[in-house]
A = this chain, B = another copy of it.
């Protein structure tokens, strides 16, 4: 099967790397950003182009959600499968006469951070059973955790991931602003953060909650509000505490 990856961002980079690690040949990496394409091309020994899209059996579109439809139009071939990697788009967003599919890895990708691809859940969807099997087989070479998922389910998977990953990382970034402002090394908090995450492998997060809000400790909540001197921090502080109190009916 001839594979072409479209895109040169974090997801494209890691998929190219994951295929390379499993000796799955990628015929081309295609996109607009020549510098990023060149980097992937050189690292994983894949030809790249910004102008001529190669003929392939499987085109994997790993670009920002708002660019998926546009880039899909460049694929004029009909007898092939085209999948995007977005959690929040239906496969029908793809524009062309090819067979449409979805190939969604549930993970957060940064180029500079290595990953164990075998642990990443992959959710695949296709127009027919044959294509589905092809995608499942391909994903199974990378990961031990491959599942079928239609768009209805996938969009909720992505929404959950936004809460459990994107927002969590933002809390880390905001927390670091507070510790930085007091010359407290953020490193002090890494064991706490590690434990907070490790805990939920064995305890339901609802049962693992600690902190002043679940103790309904108004004095500490007021002290913290007085310490906070940033509007965004205060908004987050209030909304999160209110939400904790509501969850436990305090």
A171-B169 in contact given A195-B107, A197-B197 (Cβ < 8 Å):
no
Given contacts A107-B192, A164-B175, A199-B108, are A156 and B182 in contact (CB under 8 A)?
Answer: yes
CA of A78 to CA of B163, assembled, Å: 51
Verify B110–A199 contact, CB threshold 8 A: yes
| Chain A contact patch, size range | 35 or more
Other-chain contact of A195, B108, B112, B227, B232 (Cβ < 8 Å) = B108
Interface residue ranges of A118-138 to B (CB < 8 Å): 119-121
User: For the complex, what is the distance from the CA of A170 to the CA of B214, rounded to whole Å?
Assistant: 10
* Interface residue A250 (Cβ < 8 Å from any Cβ of B): no
A163 to B228: give the CA distance in the assembly, Å: 12
Q: Which stretch of A28-36, A37-45, A240-248 is in the interface?
A: A240-248
* Residue pair A162, B65 in contact (C-beta under 8 Å): no
Contacts of A160 in B (CB 8 A): 175-176, 178-179, 184, 189
* Contact across chains for A189 and B164 when beta carbons are under 8 A apart: yes
Whether the Cβ atoms of A235 and B239 lie closer than 8 Å is: yes
List of B residues within 8 angstroms of A176 by Cβ: 160, 204-206
Which of chain B's residues have a CB closer than 8 A to the CB of A163?
A: 171-172, 174-175, 178, 233, 236-237
Inter-chain contacts of A233 with B (CB < 8 A)? 163
- Of all chain B residues, which has the CB nearest A243? B232
Minimum CB–CB distance from A150 to chain B (whole Å) comes to 11
CB–CB B209/A173 < 8 A: yes
Give the B-binding residues of A (Cβ under 8 A): 10, 64-66, 88, 106-110, 112-113, 115, 119-121, 145, 147, 153, 155-176, 178-179, 181-182, 184, 188-206, 208-215, 217, 219-220, 223-224, 227-228, 232-233, 235-237, 239-240, 242-244, 246-247
